[in-house]
Amino acid sequence: MNSSNFYEPHTHKDPSFPIIFHLDTMIKSRSNFLPHWHENIEILYVIKGTITVSSDASSITANKDEIAVINSNNVHYIQTIEEESKYYCLIIDRKFCEEIGIDTEEIIFQRLLKDREIRDKLNLIKEEFLSQKALYKAKIKSVIMDLIITLYRDYTLSESPLSNKPETNKIEMIKKAIRFIQSNYDKNISISEIAYEAGVSKYYFCRIFKEITGYTTVCFINILRCTNAKRLLLSGKYSVEEAAFACGFDNLSYFSKTYKKHMGYLPSSSKKR
């Protein structure tokens, strides 16, 4: 994920195959997974360790062989509880679901599953991706179609995304704030400015931001700045000082201290990685 893009408009090299599937490894000491959202549903199948998935201020814990579902447009982030966790990530395009009569923006799926049938389907998807036998894309699409139908029949909750208006308003307020931070992280922005853009008081904003994202506003901004500074440093076109100032830091010492805290090493080491 590009950490500076909190709304993810997933793109597919092959439009006829609107599926993203990959293995993710999370290391506890390196986990700075900033909250983001997208219209497509995301399914995580844990194969090692334990993860927490926070989605619209509601958290679930998924252990090995368990499955987490992230619903459409939920602001979410993932953390590993153990030192290392691994999970397969399946992202299914909304339009693919609509073709079989399921609008994922209008329904909510149960977030934690312990279903052997769904797990078997995910293992079959994995094997097809790895082997890439003849017509493997068609096979994967058929398995995912069956998986989505199972989710819809057995794990659709009665509530709708708009059933709780106060919660919906909070989520939209946080999305608005995140977009403002994304556009202005390289400037000297204050929490008061962000709260004003979100249309709420500073105190209320700070409380709700932490509740939804799991981060304080300052921590969120610093991780975003450091992540983008890392990208600049890895390009080889920026010195440490240039990268710091380009990403909103006006004090080099504070930048180095903050960078090491969130990235795990000093910015001067980034070019060697």
Q: What is the CATH number of the domain that holds 193?
A: 1.10.10.60
136 burial (CB, 10 Å; 0-12 / 13-18 / 19+) is middle
- Residue 45 within any structural domain of the chain: yes
Domain co-membership, 143 together with 29: yes
Domain co-membership, 26 together with 87: yes
- Residue 8 within any structural domain of the chain: no
- Residue 64 within any structural domain of the chain: yes
Domain co-membership, 175 together with 146: no
For residue 17, the tally of other CB atoms under 10 A from its CB is 15
- At residue 180, the pLDDT reads 94
For residue 14, the tally of other CB atoms under 10 A from its CB is 8
Domain co-membership, 179 together with 250: yes
Domain end call among 115, 130, 155: 155
Domain end call among 126, 155, 184: 155
For residue 149, the tally of other CB atoms under 10 A from its CB is 14
Residue where the block lists tokens 């609509």: 98
Distance between CA 36 and CA 74 in Å, rounded?
A: 8
Beta 112-113 vs 67-70: how paired, if at all?
Answer: antiparallel
- Residue 219 within any structural domain of the chain: yes
Domain end call among 98, 131, 155: 155
Distance between CA 177 and CA 198 in Å, rounded?
A: 5
Domain co-membership, 46 together with 139: yes
Helix (H) or strand (E) holding 70: strand 67-70
Helix (H) or strand (E) holding 205: helix 202-213
Q: Is 264 helix (H, G, I), strand (E, B) or coil?
A: coil
Going by C-alpha positions, the residue among 91, 90, 79 that lies closest to residue 50 is 79
Helix (H) or strand (E) holding 138: helix 136-155
- Residue 14 within any structural domain of the chain: no
- Residue 212 within any structural domain of the chain: yes
Helix (H) or strand (E) holding 61: strand 58-63
Domain co-membership, 27 together with 136: yes
Q: What are the C-alpha distances in Å from 70 to residues 108, 127, 187?
A: 9, 23, 32
Domain co-membership, 186 together with 210: yes
Taking only the tens of pLDDT, the chain with its 273 residues reads 344 456 555 566 777 899 999 999 999 877 667 888 999 999 999 999 999 999 887 899 999 999 999 999 999 999 999 999 999 999 999 999 999 999 998 899 999 999 999 999 999 999 999 999 999 999 999 999 999 999 999 999 976 655 566 677 888 999 999 999 999 999 999 999 999 999 999 999 999 999 988 899 999 999 999 999 999 999 999 999 999 999 999 999 999 999 999 888 899 886 655
Q: Which two structure tokens, joined as six digits, stand for 229?
A: 């500074």
CATH number at residue 70: 2.60.120.280
Domain co-membership, 148 together with 43: yes
Q: Please check whether residue 34 is in contact with residue 220, taking contact to mean a CB–CB distance below 8 angstroms.
A: yes
Domain co-membership, 66 together with 125: yes
Domain co-membership, 82 together with 33: yes
Domain co-membership, 121 together with 177: no
For residue 148, the tally of other CB atoms under 10 A from its CB is 21
Q: What domain count does the chain have?
A: 2
Q: Please check whether residue 69 is in contact with residue 113, taking contact to mean a CB–CB distance below 8 angstroms.
A: yes
Distance between CA 104 and CA 93 in Å, rounded?
A: 9
- Residue 11 within any structural domain of the chain: no
Q: Is 135 helix (H, G, I), strand (E, B) or coil?
A: coil
The boundaries of the domain holding residue 23 are 19-155
Helices vs. strands in the chain: H and E counts, helices first? 9, 8
Domain co-membership, 101 together with 123: yes
- Residue 12 within any structural domain of the chain: no
Q: Give Cα 98 to chain centroid, integer Å.
A: 23
